[in-house]
Amino acid sequence: MKDKVLEILKENKDYISGEKISNILNVSRTAVWKNINTLKSEGYEIDSVSRKGYRLISSPDILTYEEISPYLNTDFIGKKILYFNTIDSTNKKAKEIAETSSDGTLVISEEQTSGRGRLGRNWTSPKGKSLLISILLKPKIDPSKVSNITLVGAAALVKALEDFDIQGLIKWPNDIIINDKKIAGILTELSAEINQVNYVVMGIGVNLYTNKEEFPEDIRNKAGSILSETGKTIDRKKFTGKFLNYFEKYYKEYFLGNNFHEIIKISKEKSILLGKEVRVIGRDYSYVAKVLDITSEGHLLVQKEDGAKEEIYSGEVSVRGKNGYI
């Protein structure tokens, strides 16, 4: 009902009376008034003038369905959005609702109290300054192909940034880098049987407006935000819409159309690792190697110092630049 009132206010550039809204929605004027007050408490600026009615002056910078959907042209991603002001972790929430929620459902929060990163790390971000989003997916694919969803996400992020004239680079498979600073990360989690995926949760954290001092001290020299690295304050809603549109496009190409070309092309063109010396760090080993290629399957092809070539699957390996880039 609140959503319907908002929709009407958005459609009407001029004042619209409470009576008219109550007639359209077939509810009492008190109900309209209550919903207007709820919207105001959420940050919508609504002017009310006696005998003229209500007029929407401005909308808050929040990532609700009502605010993002005007920017979406997707078939199934973002048809349902669970929006939170604060939550422990959007990935955790997405997993909790996975069984009963549909493919493409999003969990978005302004803040996370225990955001999770890869390899058991934390993901911290001050309230309202990031995009913290988890996408629930139910692909009918072999579990072995799931790790490539991260590449799809990374490709979609750099394409969305490009639309704002921002050049992001991909540190295979899950980080987005600007000026050698990590501005976004992806954590893809899977629930599967031996040869069947139950669901996948792809969690993305993008630092949009975070200031240097707001990052925890131990990562301050490695982390950055779009604002800190480019000086640009991009529109969160538009960015989120663009990212989701690209994500669905590439996701469909790969998982429904079996076409991985575009994603691999972007992964290579935007790679910060290709041709570079890296340190590959596994659970109980580490070695120096040169990055030769990203294969057509999305694996990282490296050459060790003894000349031997190795294909790395995204898994539990961490790849670090030898020359400063994260």
* Smallest distance, ligand BTN to C-beta of residue 308, A: 29
Q: Which of these ranges, 51-59, 128-136, 215-223, 303-311, lies near ligand BTN under the rule CB under 6 A?
A: 128-136
The token pair that represents 104 in the structure block: 């493409």
Nearest to 108 by CA among 35, 8, 173, 205: 205
**Residue number, 33 or 84, with CB nearest to ligand BTN:** 84
Q: Which of residues 61-100 bind ligand BTN (CB under 6 A)?
A: 89-91
* Smallest distance, ligand BTN to C-beta of residue 66, A: 21
The mark string for 255-294 relative to ligand BTN (x by CB under 6 A, - otherwise) is ----------------------------------------
Q: Which of residues 133-192 bind ligand BTN (CB under 6 A)?
A: 133-134, 174-175, 185-187
* Smallest distance, ligand BTN to C-beta of residue 34, A: 33
Position 123 contacts ligand BTN (CB under 6 A): yes
Q: What are phi and psi of 112, to 5 degrees?
A: -125, 135
Position 205 contacts ligand BTN (CB under 6 A): yes
Q: How far is CA 278 from CA 212, 319, 323, in A?
A: 26, 6, 8
* Smallest distance, ligand BTN to C-beta of residue 38, A: 27
* Smallest distance, ligand BTN to C-beta of residue 185, A: 2
CB burial of residue 162 (10 Å; 0-12, 13-18, 19+): middle
Position 224 contacts ligand BTN (CB under 6 A): no
Q: Which of these ranges, 202-210, 226-234, 278-286, 293-301, lies near ligand BTN under the rule CB under 6 A?
A: 202-210
* Smallest distance, ligand BTN to C-beta of residue 93, A: 8
Binding site for ligand BTN (CB under 6 A): 89-91, 112, 115-118, 121, 123, 132-134, 174-175, 185-187, 203-205
